[in-house]
Structure 1
């Protein structure tokens, strides 16, 4: 089978390839095509992947492709291209992880918002809207090319804002586009492990939108264990979200929020924390990854070692401002070593390709699952996956509080999609003004004008 990775020069691509190396099953991915608009980044990541392949699935020298394979195992063949059509032809799966505007664009997304006293996170609030406005037209063009050149391919979307991008691609790809994120499954896994449960056998009653959902039930052995978890301060303090939100607030909610809801529940404190640091997250990653790509270009033989070192620093500083607000301490080593979105992607591909029934939390059409939203709204919920794709499972309904926040943000998403498709300034202004983290129409207008000034892709919204 052939997997095409759009954004193939991206820093996290080796995570996907490492997951593929661990797959020894029949019918696994045998060919990987990396597509990117930046040839030098492609070359750097290609070097990392070749060194991963040389180590093989066990990560030990001499067990990989260079040794001719083990028990018939061979590493997926990697090719690189800057031609989108070439990358798409013949693809069985297309993994989309593009970043339009690069990390330079992300730094602008963050800084413009912060300068106007608004949170500038890349997928939440003003930064997420700006990111989407320049990303959605590119994502839609990709969807059209996939429909024309690889109509039988399944598109796995990780491009942020993941739910919004997935919804924008649906008219062209239908249910063959599925959005993924590792946050919900990571939350469920951590909650299960905190109680000593087998995370692989648990059902997570989780629902919402991408980066805006709640774990409302933790079912195993016919029992909902979430009440027991909420009643156990030691267990709550044993994992990231418990420390991030605090025992009292989690008990008050009666649910465990996705980590990104910290930006909503502790908006003032998080904004102050972000404003107090010298470098935004985007600026940090820009400097870090620029150094990685430059050093890899000079020393390609050390590509994998350089990537591993850079990734460890990246992961340890993830959401550092929110953890500082909550006094949550360092990230748990077990959390950083656990599989993330790459394992979700691999499980999704295997379930579809081999009709191996799986249960995954995905971004798909609502189809009546959550009554507060229409059928075509993309939501993040548990699904059953097989050769026919992903189908939503029954979950408990959102509370009024949850439904209100989800409905408000869905309205923002749809105004953003409309603006990106039409170039309508009015639609773009609505998106900024309606977002719960932007509390002024005047500020919304200033945000839009400043983004237009700093981002060439947004000139249509003058």
Structure 2
């Protein structure tokens, strides 16, 4: 088995390597190829060195190769994992700061920030898909690159690659629910439905018994149900009890927009945006990774915000390899799963995973209290995907107008012009004109 990791110089890679080591009894991996761009040479060599030491310590007969040759990495791969960031953390910092100038939330994967990231990322993922189609047409593409839902939908619409989008939010919600309910995670059964970073837990059971109410009570009492990279604004008790499905941590940006915006603006002035904070975390991480005696995933990686990332990824791959019919929450085409969304829309939903891939559990009709927001964000996503793939400025403008964070078409136009200008080196598809008038 050959696994290619595109974005192999990522600080997350040791987490992935640890996951492969822990599941070595089920995954008979022969080769892991870490591929990156030449600008990331130093990081690739540092991470690759740690990966090789981790494999050596494990005693597993796995070859670890480092390369800048993406086609060589993809050729005859069984799985291609994508975890890259076009423009690096500097581009992310721009994504976070530009919206704040217009009193709009600036966040990596939602709103105008997620829009900008999608414009940069989708053309690159589609190039990768062309290479997979040519050099390894039976490979599975497992994408972690954000915005994961939009990236997955672009792949399904514009390529024939077998692709699954993956996020660590659902598995973390399950773990946090287990912590709140004081049970083992394996005893918790949660059904998820929605979009990436806009997913809801629609049911929660512990050993077959409905546990939604005690879970909501625990959250109202202040027990943790949040990701490390999101401001922990407390939920309103009456709202959560009225909703009676569990929003994911990213829903704070939609349901507490004023509070989250105020916190972002304050943080940007005092500590820097999240990207600027992550740059400092990563700088320290890579210094740790350099240690020639380090041969395990360091605890400091937890500060990066990728909790349970490898477990979600490697267990998904294991299910495909072993045909174990396990449940995973992943990003897949809707195809009637949620009746109020288009068939070609990619959704995040609980699936049974076999050797043939994920099979969504039927959802049917979602309640009015959540489907409206989902439909609006999906309209934004689909317009963004089309704009990213084609360079259509009108679609790009309409995408921003449809985003819940953007207050007017005038602000949408200003945001679009600023985003295109800041990202022009990454957006050749938009080079015909520099502004919408």
TM-score when normalising by structure 1: 0.85
User: Does 2:370 align with 1:402?
Assistant: yes
Structure 1 48/398 Cα, relative in aligned 2: closer, same or farther at 3 Å? same
User: Does 2:281 align with 1:288?
Assistant: yes
Partner Cα separation in structure 1 for residue 291 and residue 219 of structure 2: 46
Query: Where do 5+ consecutive residues of structure 1 fail to align?
Result: 57-68, 316-335
User: Does the 8 Å contact 2:195/2:348 carry over to 1?
Assistant: yes
* Structure 1 segment 24-39 matched on structure 2, within 5 A: 24-37=24-37, 38-39=40-41
Partner Cα separation in structure 2 for residue 121 and residue 234 of structure 1: 24
CA RMSD of aligned residues (A): 2.3
Residue from 234, 237, 253 that aligns with 1:263: 253
Query: Where do 5+ consecutive residues of structure 2 fail to align?
Result: 227-231
Q: List per-residue Cα deviations over 1:351-388 (Å, max 9, x = no partner).
A: 11121221010100112110111211100000000111
Runs of 4+ displaced beyond 6 Å: none
Offset at residue 171 of structure 1 (A): 3.4
Partner Cα separation in structure 2 for residue 188 and residue 427 of structure 1: 36
* Structure 1 segment 381-396 matched on structure 2, within 5 A: 381-395=349-363
User: Does the 8 Å contact 2:20/2:27 carry over to 1?
Assistant: no
Offset at residue 224 of structure 1 (A): 2.1
Alignment match, 1:373? 341
The more displaced of 196-205 and 136-145 is: 196-205
Secondary structure of the corresponding residue to residue 245 of structure 1: coil
Partner Cα separation in structure 2 for residue 453 and residue 243 of structure 1: 33
Alignment match, 1:53? 55
Offset at residue 431 of structure 1 (A): 0.9
Partner Cα separation in structure 1 for residue 169 and residue 82 of structure 2: 18
User: Does the 8 Å contact 1:181/1:362 carry over to 2?
Assistant: yes
Residue from 313, 329, 334 that aligns with 1:361: 329
Partner Cα separation in structure 1 for residue 277 and residue 176 of structure 2: 27
Offset at residue 429 of structure 1 (A): 0.6
* Structure 1 segment 43-192 matched on structure 2, within 5 A: 43-56=45-58, 69=59, 74=60, 76-174=62-160, 176-192=162-178
Offset at residue 12 of structure 1 (A): 0.6
Partner Cα separation in structure 1 for residue 199 and residue 44 of structure 2: 34
Partner Cα separation in structure 2 for residue 117 and residue 392 of structure 1: 38
Partner Cα separation in structure 2 for residue 174 and residue 344 of structure 1: 24
User: Does the 8 Å contact 1:9/1:42 carry over to 2?
Assistant: yes
Partner Cα separation in structure 1 for residue 24 and residue 70 of structure 2: 29
Secondary structure of the corresponding residue to residue 240 of structure 1: coil
User: Does 2:1 align with 1:10?
Assistant: no
Partner Cα separation in structure 1 for residue 220 and residue 407 of structure 2: 36
Partner Cα separation in structure 2 for residue 227 and residue 287 of structure 1: 40
Secondary structure of the corresponding residue to residue 430 of structure 1: helix
Residue from 44, 50, 68 that aligns with 1:42: 44
Partner Cα separation in structure 2 for residue 403 and residue 50 of structure 1: 47
Q: List per-residue Cα deviations over 1:187-244 (Å, max 9, x = no partner).
A: 12322342234422433121100000111211344432213433x3478533324974
User: Does the 8 Å contact 1:52/1:304 carry over to 2?
Assistant: yes
TM-score when normalising by structure 2: 0.90
Partner Cα separation in structure 1 for residue 225 and residue 52 of structure 2: 34
Partner Cα separation in structure 2 for residue 122 and residue 445 of structure 1: 20
Alignment match, 2:200? 214
Secondary structure of the corresponding residue to residue 292 of structure 2: helix
Secondary structure of the corresponding residue to residue 301 of structure 1: coil
User: Does the 8 Å contact 1:194/1:236 carry over to 2?
Assistant: no
Alignment match, 2:406? 438
Secondary structure of the corresponding residue to residue 342 of structure 2: coil
Alignment match, 1:62? none
Partner Cα separation in structure 2 for residue 437 and residue 12 of structure 1: 30
User: Does the 8 Å contact 1:209/1:378 carry over to 2?
Assistant: yes
Structure 1 27/54 Cα, relative in aligned 2: closer, same or farther at 3 Å? closer
Structure 1 174/384 Cα, relative in aligned 2: closer, same or farther at 3 Å? farther
Offset at residue 255 of structure 1 (A): 1.6
User: Does the 8 Å contact 1:244/1:262 carry over to 2?
Assistant: no
Q: List per-residue Cα deviations over 1:318-376 (Å, max 9, x = no partner).
A: xxxxxxxxxxxxxxxxxx8xx61211111111111121221010100112110111211
Structure 1 211/76 Cα, relative in aligned 2: closer, same or farther at 3 Å? same
Partner Cα separation in structure 1 for residue 30 and residue 36 of structure 2: 20
User: Does the 8 Å contact 1:89/1:149 carry over to 2?
Assistant: yes
Offset at residue 173 of structure 1 (A): 4.7
Structure 1 288/455 Cα, relative in aligned 2: closer, same or farther at 3 Å? same
Number of aligned residues: 420
Alignment match, 1:240? 225
User: Does the 8 Å contact 1:21/1:75 carry over to 2?
Assistant: no
